[in-house]
Structure 1
């Protein structure tokens, strides 16, 4: 998911290492109450303080078409079709 958020540059560093670094930094930044977990409340407070975080991770969020396809599939399964 986060690979799409990274600007692709030819480097010697393994992209997975870069992603691990991003996740670690993001979790530390977003753990607003420092309990070792990122709750919705933590997330909400963090992005209100620094709304650039939403822009940074915007590429990770599903687009409207993907959401619609998922909902159609999920509700179809629910109704036994």
Structure 2
């Protein structure tokens, strides 16, 4: 998860550990998605989290169609 989210934040020149923000983001993401609180992200945890918040799909890379494309094809 760290590697997928690594390029999602801008690095600040004043940061001592540039990966600290990414580590925090991973921790927050795991807390939000780990529904059974076992410290692991199972497929059922992932599926439930994505059903509740579809934008979590985009957090790991662009995979949803552009809103214009979505409107054209799905409405």
TM class, shorter-chain normalised? 0.5 to 0.7
Deviation at 1:20, TM superposition (A): 0.7
Moved over 4 A (4+): none
**C-alpha RMSD of matched pairs (Å):** 1.9
d(CA) in 1 for partners of 2:11 and 2:19? 13
Q: Which has a greater percent of helix?
A: 1
1:39-69 CA distances to partner (integer Å, 9 max, x unpaired)? 001001001101111112225x8xxxxxxxx
In 1: Cα distance, 2:13 partner to 2:55 partner: 25
TM-score (ref. length: structure 2): 0.65
Aligned length: 59
Determine which structure has greater relative contact order: mean sequence separation of CA pairs < 8 Å that are 6+ residues apart, divided by chain length.
Answer: 1
Instruction: State the TM-score, normalized to the length of structure 1.
Output: 0.61
